[in-house]
Structure 1
């Protein structure tokens, strides 16, 4: 079996769900913002309140889109794991195993001293895509470690 020079994986299903949710949030907050000015409650909403409601929807949508950010890149030298906020690069010599524990939501890199880092780009809900990703990462790890 030949190993690829470099591989890159991103989650599939969560990207779709995050995009749909982000659009939904922007639409709902825009509608609510536009309808704020016409309420029978006696409360006076100004244009700035309406704009703030729309901006809040956009900010929440951006937060949801962070869930689509995870990525894992690997090559013969090492692996780069980018999760929702953090990003780490490891040489294969620093990685003990690439594992996907039973019942876990995502794969992980086992590191020395009982530490590990989650690979949120390889998610259980992606099934065959996750299996292919773990196999490719293990093959690169095996080739690099000898």
Structure 2
């Protein structure tokens, strides 16, 4: 059986989706509570929905981020950008004290942020980095 682990942001993910729900509920409640003499033009309505959809898209990108390690390498999804990095191309993983997230360093000295592992998750983040370093050393 292949060794597969997926790491996702804990608190950040909850906050992103909670804010999305709150945004939609507030939009609906405010829309219903406006007096009848206040109305929006079609251009204002379209602009408002474009802004709301942009914010929801951003929040979903934060919530869907992950880092997946398997026998072939590391797959990183940061928002809407996906990276597949084989173990042979990875030099190491860096996570300094107080860093918001770890960084994957390739043999070419390119860096990929691992947004799916949030430093604010404390022990979970340290465990994830330790696991990734252990897989690299193996």
Q: Which TM-score band (shorter chain)?
A: 0.7 to 0.9
In the TM superposition, 1:1-146 aligns within 5 A as: 5-36=3-34, 38-39=36-37, 44-45=39-40, 53=48, 57=52, 59-143=54-138
Q: What is the CA distance between 1:55 and its match in structure 2?
A: 7.1
Q: What is the CA distance between 1:115 and its match in structure 2?
A: 1.5
Distance 2:54 2:34 in 1: 19
Structure 2 length-normalised TM: 0.84
Structure 1 length-normalised TM: 0.80
Report the structure number with the largest CA radius of gyration. Answer: 1
Q: What is the CA distance between 1:104 and its match in structure 2?
A: 1.7
Moved more, 55-64 or 26-35: 55-64
CA contact (8 A) 1:26 1:54 kept: no
Q: What is the CA distance between 1:54 and its match in structure 2?
A: 6.1
- Could you tell me which runs of 5 or more consecutive residues in structure 1 were left unpaired when the two chains were aligned: none
CA contact (8 A) 2:61 2:78 kept: no
- Could you tell me which runs of 5 or more consecutive residues in structure 2 were left unpaired when the two chains were aligned: none
Q: What is the CA distance between 1:22 and its match in structure 2?
A: 0.6
Computed over aligned residues only, the root mean square deviation of the Cα atoms, in angstroms, reads 2.5
Aligned structure 1 segments of 4 or more residues deviating by more than 4 angstroms: 46-56
Q: Specify whether residues 47 and 105 from structure 1 end up closer, same or farther in structure 2 by C-alpha distance, changes over 3 A only.
A: same
